[in-house]
Structure formats: C-alpha cells, structure tokens
Structure 1
Amino acid sequence: MSLITLIASGTLSGLASVLLRLAALRAATPSAGGEWMPFLFRAGAMGSYGVGFVLYALALRKANLGVAYPLMVAVSILVVLAFTALHEQVLRPTQIVGAAVIFIGVWLVTRQV
C-alpha cells in the first residue's frame, strides 16, 4: 500500500510542477477571457502539493525514509520529463542520460539486499 501511496504522491508533486509551468506560460500570453487560467493552474498546483504531502506523510508510516523519498522524487521527475517531452518537445539527450542516472541511483538505493 505504501508503494502505491508513494507513486501517487510523486505523481501529484510532478503534476503541481507542470501546473505551475502552465500558469507561467498562460500568464506570459494573455488571451481574451483567459486571465483566470493562471490563477486556476496555481490553485490546482497548491491542491496537488497538499494532497501529495498528505499521501507522502501516510506512506512514511510504513515506508523507510531512505526508500520513500528517492522513489517519490523519481516519480516526480518522470512526470515532469514526460510533460516536457510531450508538450515542450525540448527533451535533450543530456536530460535523458541524467534521468537514467537518477533512476539507476534510485534503484540502487531502494533495492532490498
């Protein structure tokens, strides 16, 4: 159960970062009737961070901190990189290699000996 909770927490944390990015993009390009969109994106980000925090706190009841935090952050990074690849189309090879190194590190830290 804590694994699912950690994945959900990381997903919500990554989603919050994506929503903040969308708010910044929307604020930079004002459109007719769209002045509320940055506010809504920021409110959604705050809600995502809040729910993600609660889920993370619940997961820490049963999960080891040395396993929980790297896993949650790896999921967040995956969400942000997926958004970047799908919507901004600027995922560079160095970002892919860096993400692979992070995921290998998370695997090494979280694996059971």
Structure 2
Amino acid sequence: MSVVILIASGTLGGLASVLLRLAALKAATGLPNEWMPLLLRAAALCSYGVGFLLYALALRKANLGIAYPLMVAVSIFVVLTFTALHEHALKPTQLVGAVLILGGVWLVTR
C-alpha cells in the first residue's frame, strides 16, 4: 500500500512542477486574464502540500532508501511526459538520463 501512496505523492509533486511551469507561461503572455497564473500557483501549492502529506504517511511503513527514489522517479516521469507532450520532443540525452534514473531506482528498490 505504501508504494501506491508513494506513486501518488510523486505524481502530485510532478503535477505541481507542471502547474508552476504553466503559470509562468501564462504570466509571460501578458494577457488580461491575470487570475489564471495565480490559480495555477495556488493549485501547485495544494498539490505539493497533499503530496508531502502522502509522502509523510508512506514513510510510516516504507524504508527511506526506497521511498525517496521511487517518489522522485515518478515525479521525473510526470515532468518528462508533460515536456514531451506539450513543449518539445525530448532530446536523446534526456531519454537516456530518464532510463538511467529509472534503472537506478529499480536497482535501489530490489
């Protein structure tokens, strides 16, 4: 069960980073809708907060040496997925780095 909570925590952490990126892009456009960046930043803070609480809950039963790498790997996956789908194609070095990180997490959790 703690693995599911860690995956949720990592997903929310990655989502918060994506929301902050979207807020920065909306603020940079200078459109008259000034509430959107603020709402996106508030959603990012909520996402970070809930993710932190889930992480703290998961640490009750999970080993820190497994919990942290798993949570970070999920966050990286979320951010790279957003980047690939909405911003630009990933560079080969980014793909190799992601595979190495995921492989490292797999090795650490065994």
Alignment of 1:21-100 (within 5 A): 21-32=21-32, 34-100=33-99
Looking at structure 1, the residues matched to 70 and 108 of structure 2 have their Cα atoms a distance apart, in angstroms, of: 9
Looking at structure 2, the residues matched to 100 and 31 of structure 1 have their Cα atoms a distance apart, in angstroms, of: 38
Looking at structure 2, the residues matched to 62 and 92 of structure 1 have their Cα atoms a distance apart, in angstroms, of: 37
Q: Percent identity?
A: 76
Deviation by residue 1:43-95 (Cα, 9 ceiling, x = unmatched)? 00000000000000000000000000000000000000000000001411100
Structure 2's unaligned 5+ residue stretches are none
Q: TM-score, normalised by structure 1?
A: 0.95
Looking at structure 1, the residues matched to 38 and 74 of structure 2 have their Cα atoms a distance apart, in angstroms, of: 26
- Number of aligned residue pairs: 110
Match of 1:71, as an amino acid?
L
- Aligned-pair Cα RMSD in Å: 0.7
Looking at structure 2, the residues matched to 87 and 18 of structure 1 have their Cα atoms a distance apart, in angstroms, of: 10
Structure 1's unaligned 5+ residue stretches are none
SS across alignment from 2:61:
coil
Looking at structure 1, the residues matched to 70 and 62 of structure 2 have their Cα atoms a distance apart, in angstroms, of: 11
SS across alignment from 2:60:
coil
Match of 1:97, as an amino acid?
V
Stretches of 4+ aligned residues off by more than 6 angstroms:
none
Looking at structure 1, the residues matched to 62 and 30 of structure 2 have their Cα atoms a distance apart, in angstroms, of: 44
Looking at structure 2, the residues matched to 108 and 69 of structure 1 have their Cα atoms a distance apart, in angstroms, of: 13
CA shift, 1:26, in A, is 0.4
Match of 1:91, as an amino acid?
L
SS across alignment from 1:12:
helix
